[in-house]
């Protein structure tokens, strides 16, 4: 069983949106020129306000000091919770109070650090949090073994004796479900003590990529100098100038390639950690161990890969249409985001994007739209890139504050979709926190991307309905295609590669830089086939993807978008109760297993049907794309 600590802090740490960093859209590239701004040069109106968590750094430090004393006290319950329902209830209440404080401190330290990863003060806060997290894990390592030692029948009696315990029924049942993978208290303590060691590869990778790597400066299509950064890549890859796209992609990847052996060592250590923990608990594979935390059968993961692969020819057909539309003899991977119609005016300033997003979600009602609007105005969002800022985008927040989101907004259509994606996460958090007790106020990662990709679908539907210009409609259809490609197909491809990495380590095979590069290109070829050319530098792509340090995370993007596509159709068709069911799903947190919560909302991911339907939608959009290309004279 994954502890409440593990569930809550894992989702807080894992919400960075990879799509914003890796995938462009069919919109005009608007790359900023010159040097990246310092944070002090950006207006406070476009920065998040962390005072909802702590009024000052001094308050954070005082909270960390309090945690130093409150965490060890949880160990005083050891040997007592199995004696009476009153002791178990008292533990839960103290446990939740400490965890809320720990979560708040963790989120603040992480966000303060992500504002500028060069700031060593907040790097120190991060290190202190790792120590506190390890102390917490050790202090409660005895809890699950003792909890599952209580006979099942005894809980029914305890619920009658102490009705306040009933709120924890699902949490307790989940622990009992996974009791065979729970170790002895002494063994659990050893695993808890190893937490800091297991996080080291990810911490080192983050420092390497965000702080130590120095990316080159290239020329844009107007001859201006552009310093490469992860935040600028999507815009540069949308350039209508192939030399700009090539220089940006290869300049970025070759920089990662200079550190390929270091990155391979970190990835190997990361994979080894996953395998170690799965074997220590007695799971038959690291995949089984990871998915069991959400009570998801491994067939869901394997069927996703198999189903998407069956539709690879549609992706390859799209690549050929893209090649023809761009007038290229050969399509390279760095051409996949190039704009089809470069002279379209699709610049979308941030404030305009917020207004459009709000209009697109009016069907969700006041319970959704009102707090969302207040959040956009009330310090939830950190909008623009600055030097040292964490790349990509994510949503986070704590139970004691409110949701937050980090962006690196660059005035593109893609950035608007990233923004609606992340506000979807924020509203999922807001509604779950509002309607659930703390024990269930988080939501599993398996459910997380449903809300975000639903928002993307609502925005796309809004834009397509009002667009009459064939060229602009072509750009939007291209965007829709690339949304599915990036969120379903590419994430499934990444999941396929991640499975291969884990299986290699489980088989005792070394993960050298050369082997990882070969394995990655082979995986890409399984999906793109011969429809694209494979530049040597793309062998290093695996080293720039932070989600590979989040054990079996990326597949959840794909399954979630398939679920959201099904929910979207229900809402758009005006199906009776569809909106209320979706709001209910968003308000459910982790009060039930994610598969069950989605089934209540009307989607069954144990069946391949939602994946098949999404890939069929992808095929239909590719067909529409071809018609619009012909209509606008692009082919």
Name which of 247, 233, 587 is nearest 443 in CA terms.
587
Q: Say if residues 218 and 153 touch (Cβ distance below 8 Å).
A: no
Residue with tokens 């989702």: 11
| Cα gap 122→388, rounded to integer Å | 12
Q: Which residues pair with 226 in a beta bridge?
A: 34, 218
* Nearest residue to 446 (alpha-carbon basis) of 614, 316, 339, 592: 592
Of residues 315, 306, 304, 301, the one with CA closest to residue 527? 315
Which DSSP symbol is given to 212? I
How far apart, in Å, are the Cα atoms of 379 and each of 47, 365, 370, 401, 617? Answer: 7, 22, 15, 12, 37
What separation, in Å, do the N-terminal and C-terminal C-alpha atoms of the chain show?
A: 55
**Residues 6+ positions from 597 with CB-CB distance below 8 Å:** 447, 585, 588, 591
Nearest to 304 by CA among 286, 321, 287: 287
Residue 414: name the closest of 475, 328, 497, 333 by CA: 475
Phi, psi of 217 (to 5 degrees): -105, 135
C-alpha separations of 136 from 38, 78, 148, 195 in Å: 36, 14, 20, 10
Specify burial of residue 369 (Cβ count, 10 A radius: 0-12, 13-18, 19+).
Answer: middle
Output DSSP code: residue 384: S
What three-state secondary structure class fits 383?
Answer: coil
Q: How far apart are CA 494 and CA 418, in angstroms?
A: 20
What residues act catalytically? 422
Q: 385: helix, coil or strand?
A: coil
| Phi/psi of residue 381, nearest 5 degrees | -115, 135
**Taking a C-beta distance cutoff of 8 angstroms, is the pair 406, 382 a contact?**
yes
Pairing between strand 16-17 and 393-397?
Answer: antiparallel
Contact 81, 147 (CB under 8 A): yes
Q: Could you give the CA distance from residue 555 to residue 63 in angstroms, rounded to a whole number?
A: 36
| Residues forming beta bridges with residue 394, ordered by sequence position | 16, 406
Residue 16 buriedness (CB in 10 A; 0-12 / 13-18 / 19+): buried
Q: Which secondary-structure segment (H or E) carries 396?
A: strand 393-397
CB 336 within 8 A of CB 322: yes
* Helix, strand, coil tally for the chain in percent (to 5): 70, 5, 30
Number of H helices, E strands in the chain: 27, 6
CA distance 421 to 458: 10
């Amino acid at each position: 069983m994954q502890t409440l600590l593990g569930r809550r802090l894992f989702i807080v740490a894992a919400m960075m949106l990879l799509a914003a960093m890796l995938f462009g859209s069919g919109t005009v590239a608007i790359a900023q020129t010159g040097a990246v701004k310092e944070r002090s040069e950006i207006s406070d109106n476009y920065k998040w306000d962390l005072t909802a968590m702590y009024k000052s750094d001094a308050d954070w430090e005082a909270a960390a000091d309090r945690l130093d004393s409150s965490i060890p006290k949880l160990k005083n319950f050891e040997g007592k919770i199995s004696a009476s329902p009153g002791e178990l209830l008292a533990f839960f209440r103290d446990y939740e109070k400490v965890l809320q404080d720990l979560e708040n401190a963790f989120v603040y330290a992480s966000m303060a650090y992500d504002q500028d990863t060069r700031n060593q003060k907040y790097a120190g806060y991060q290190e202190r949090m790792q120590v506190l997290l390890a102390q917490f894990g050790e202090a409660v390592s005895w809890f699950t073994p003792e909890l599952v030692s209580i006979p099942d029948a005894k809980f029914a009696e305890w619920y009658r004796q102490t009705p306040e315990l009933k709120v924890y029924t699902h949490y307790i049942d989940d622990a009992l479900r996974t009791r065979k993978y729970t170790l002895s208290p002494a063994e659990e303590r050893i695993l808890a003590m190893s937490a800091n060691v297991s996080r080291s590869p990810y911490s080192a990778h983050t420092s390497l990529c965000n702080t130590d790597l120095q990316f080159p400066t290239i020329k844009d299509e107007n001859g201006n100098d552009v310093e490469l950064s992860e935040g600028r890549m999507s815009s540069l890859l949308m350039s209508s100038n192939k030399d700009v796209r090539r220089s940006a992609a290869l300049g970025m990847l070759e920089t990662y390639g200079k550190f390929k052996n270091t990155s391979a060592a970190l990835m190997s250590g990361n994979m080894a950690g996953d395998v170690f923990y799965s074997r220590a608990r007695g799971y038959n594979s690291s995949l089984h161990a990871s998915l069991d935390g959400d009570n998801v059968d491994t067939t869901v993961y394997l069927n996703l890969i198999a189903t998407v692969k069956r539709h690879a020819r549609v992706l390859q057909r799209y690549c050929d249409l893209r090649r023809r539309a761009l007038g290229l003899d050969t399509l390279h991977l760095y051409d996949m985001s190039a704009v089809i119609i470069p002279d379209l005016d699709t610049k979308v300033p941030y404030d305009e994007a917020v207004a459009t997003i709000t209009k697109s979600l009016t069907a969700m009602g006041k319970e959704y739209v009102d707090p969302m609007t207040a959040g956009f105005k009330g310090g939830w969002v950190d909008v623009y890139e600055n030097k040292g800022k964490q790349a990509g985008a994510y949503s986070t927040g704590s139970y004691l504050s409110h949701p937050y989101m980090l962006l690196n907004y660059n005035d593109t259509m893609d950035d608007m979709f990233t923004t609606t994606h992340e506000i979807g996460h924020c509203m999922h958090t807001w509604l779950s926190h509002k309607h659930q007790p703390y024990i269930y106020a988080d939501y599993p990662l398996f459910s997380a991307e449903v809300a975000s990709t639903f928002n993307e679908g609502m925005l796309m539907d809004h834009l397509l309905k009002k667009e009459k210009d064939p060229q602009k409609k072509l750009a939007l259809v291209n965007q829709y295609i690339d949304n599915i490609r990036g969120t379903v197909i590419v994430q499934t491809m990444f999941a396929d590669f991640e499975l291969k990495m884990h299986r290699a380590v489980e088989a005792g095979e070394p993960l050298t830089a050369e082997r990882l590069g070969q394995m990655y290109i082979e995986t890409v070829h399984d999906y793109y086939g011969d429809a694209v050319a494979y530049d040597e530098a793309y062998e290093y792509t695996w080293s720039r993807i932070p989600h590979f340090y989040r054990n079996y995370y990326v597949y959840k993007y794909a399954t979630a978008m398939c679920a959201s596509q099904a929910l979207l159709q229900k809402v758009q068709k005006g199906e009776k109760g569809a909106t209320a069911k979706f709001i209910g799903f968003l308000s459910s947190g982790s009060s039930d297993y994610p598969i069950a919560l989605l089934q209540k909302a009307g989607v069954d991911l144990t069946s391949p049907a939602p994946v098949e339907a999404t890939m069929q939608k992808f095929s239909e959009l590719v067909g529409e794309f071809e018609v619009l290309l012909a209509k606008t004279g692009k082919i």
